[in-house]
Amino acid sequence: MKLLLAGCTGFIGKELIKELKEKGHSIVLLARDPEKYKDLENEKLILKQWDGKSLGDWVSEIENVDGIVNLTGEPIAGKRWTNRQKKVLLSSRLDSTNALIQAINKAKKKPKVLINASAVGYYGNVENDLVNEGYKKGSGFLADICEEWENAAKPAQKENVRVVFLRTGIVLEKGGGALEKITPPFMMFAGGPLGSGKQWFPWIHRDDVIGIILYALENESVSGIINTVAPECVTMKDFCNELGKVIKRPSWAPVPGIALKVLLGEMADMLLGGQHAIPEKLTKSGYDFKYKKVGAALKNIYE
Ligand SMILES: NC(=O)c1ccc[n+]([C@@H]2O[C@H](COP(=O)([O-])OP(=O)(O)OC[C@H]3O[C@@H](n4cnc5c(N)ncnc54)[C@H](OP(=O)(O)O)[C@@H]3O)[C@@H](O)[C@H]2O)c1
């Protein structure tokens, strides 16, 4: 396959590139600063500059690709959610998706599939229910962003492009994502659950995110919303206990919700809430998860 990748130089995307290269796929990689990724270039990967919001000479590449993967977005937990930062979080996702949609509209030959990032934050904080792909939208900033983000990608469906919305959970691997923030206090013997610990922690190993993207690219039956989470969701408390066991540190110092709110502002809601998301569509369609249990995922990461 020949694929156009956007927002794929980060925590998830850089691993996706490795996997796609190994499988022999050809890649057009859009990046805001392609110079930084010159070492990735070869006969199977070409780099194109874009600004994540406007059309440019990259647009002609759309005619030549079978599929698009768009993971673009300012890091959600990078900075405090001031009004200004909230605008950046939203516009980086909407503008990039809109630019890709405009490029698809213009193309005479359309790609077959668009895989667009989203997040389980769409569902907001859900205490008891099992949350499958049909569950209602929640409230809050993240839920609103996810809705707008998905709506921005929807017009591709009218162009007969198969659109997959990856409602992704908390992605686990070293070198980025949630573990990079959660693990350091544990290493200093000061780790423990955030808030009550009773909130759901819808995790997924990064290898499975990559596996699911490949699966969605290759299987025409996969379309629409896909809960990209492991089959066995755990609570924050159980997650921290498993982490403590694997890295041989106690999980005994809970961080009170009120302290998190003072420290992080509105972003604390993301950590103090959660949802028992289940990957119903993936399970029904036969996707074989590499990591079903959080203990096995953490052992793979740290041992
Ligand atoms: N990691 C998780 O746990 C998780 C969970 C749920 C959903 N997601 C979503 O999945 C996507 C990929 O996640 P990730 O962890 O790989 O993210 P990441 O490491 O932050 O990478 C995101 C990519 O987006 C581009 N980008 C960043 N800020 C931008 C901005 N202001 N304007 C335009 N482009 C910008 C960057 O590409 P260039 O600098 O090369 O242009 C970067 O490589 C994100 O949209 C994220 O919200 C992630």
Question: Averaged over 60-76, what is the pLDDT?
Answer: 97
Contacts of 216 (CB under 8 A, 6+ apart): 113, 115, 164, 166, 222, 226
Alpha helices in 55-200 (DSSP H): 83-106, 141-153, 155-158, 177-187
pLDDT for position 263 = 83
Q: Is the pLDDT of residue 168 over 90?
A: yes
Probe residue for ligand 1, chosen from 168, 172, 205 as the CB with the greatest number of ligand atoms within 8 Å: 168
Question: Averaged over 216-244, what is the pLDDT?
Answer: 97
List C-alpha distances in Å: 300 to 172, 178, 231, 295: 10, 16, 17, 9
145-160: per-residue pLDDT in tens?
A: 999 999 999 999 999 9
108-137: per-residue pLDDT in tens?
A: 999 999 999 999 999 999 999 999 999 999
Which of 87, 82, 81, 90 shows the shortest CA–CA distance to 119?
A: 90
Chain position carrying tokens 């030959």: 109
Using 50, 70 and 90 to split pLDDT, how confident is the model at 66?
A: very high
Whole-number mean pLDDT of the chain?
Answer: 96
Distance 254 CA to ligand 1 centre (A): 29
| Predicted structure pTM score | 0.97
Using 50, 70 and 90 to split pLDDT, how confident is the model at 226?
A: very high
Probe residue for ligand 1, chosen from 11, 19, 45 as the CB with the greatest number of ligand atoms within 8 Å: 11
Using 50, 70 and 90 to split pLDDT, how confident is the model at 77?
A: very high
pLDDT for position 60 = 96
172-216: per-residue pLDDT in tens?
A: 999 999 999 999 999 999 999 999 999 999 999 999 999 999 999
Q: Does 12 sit in the ligand 1 pocket, CB within 6 Å?
A: yes
Distance 124 CA to ligand 1 centre (A): 20
Q: Does 278 sit in the ligand 1 pocket, CB within 6 Å?
A: no
Q: Does 32 sit in the ligand 1 pocket, CB within 6 Å?
A: yes
Which residues partner with 49 through β-bridges?
Answer: 31
Using 50, 70 and 90 to split pLDDT, how confident is the model at 259?
A: confident
* CATH fold for domain 2-171+205-229+278-283: Rossmann fold (3.40.50)
Q: Cα-flanking dihedrals φ and ψ of residue 295, to 5°? A: -60, -45
28-65: per-residue pLDDT in tens?
A: 999 999 999 999 999 999 999 999 999 999 999 999 99
